[in-house]
Amino acid sequence: MSSLDQDWQDDETRKMDLELENQSLELDQHLQDAVHWKSDDLDPKIHNAFLHHVNAFEDLSKQPQRPIQSFFPEGFSFPPVESMTREQLAEKLDAICEVLANFGIDVQLRPNLPDEYVYKYLVDEVIPHETTLPDNGFGISHVIDGCTGSCEDCFQAKFCDVRDEIYGDDEKLN
């Protein structure tokens, strides 16, 4: 709607238009079997923005996935962790995370996880095997947290405070 069209509308008409648009967006999502929840006291403008983000995510999920490995420039090297100093490892991790962030991928492994673990996980498990959806400009990101829900088999279990909260000190992994 152009600004000229909005100028002649009163606040009540704009509010009704927004509510009708929200109802239409909700119906579209319902027809696509999208899960929908709404608080009765939610501001219609905020609800409208939320509905547009949900639609963007739904549209994005219909796109073909892209291998994460394809995000790295030709010649980007992944040297063995043992061949790097601590400083080189930190720099390489920063470079990897920057490439991933540029494509909407956020690495959120356990904060106290040593760089060696982070690097090996990303280089051995994520980069060669994972795919992700393309960025659509709506700020939807793919989060890599390394958590599979299986604490016993997790590479970061002994560094995980969430596991400690669930199991306590009695079952802490060594």
pLDDT of amino acid 59: 66
Sequence-distant (6+) residues with CB within 8 A of 168 are none
Q: How far is CA 121 from the centre of its chain?
A: 18
Residue 8 has pLDDT above 70, yes or no: no
Mapped onto helix, strand or coil, the DSSP state of residue 91 is helix
**Range scoring the smallest mean pLDDT among 30-39, 74-83, 103-112:** 30-39
Same domain for 33 and 93, yes or no, is no
Number of separate domains in the chain? 2
Q: Are 154 and 146 in contact (CB under 8 A)?
A: yes
Tokens of residue 89, six digits = 């490892």
Domain presence at residue 28: yes
Give, for 107, the enclosing helix (H) or strand (E): strand 105-107
Give the domain range for residue 21.
3-60
pTM: 0.63
CA distance 119 to 125: 10
Domain presence at residue 24: yes
Give per-residue pLDDT as tens, 108-167.
Answer: 998 889 999 999 999 999 999 988 766 655 566 778 888 877 778 888 888 887 655 555
**Range scoring the smallest mean pLDDT among 2-11, 71-80, 128-137:** 2-11
Mapped onto helix, strand or coil, the DSSP state of residue 144 is strand
Total count of residues recorded for the chain: 174
Same domain for 49 and 109, yes or no, is no
For the chain, percent of residues with pLDDT exceeding 70? 70
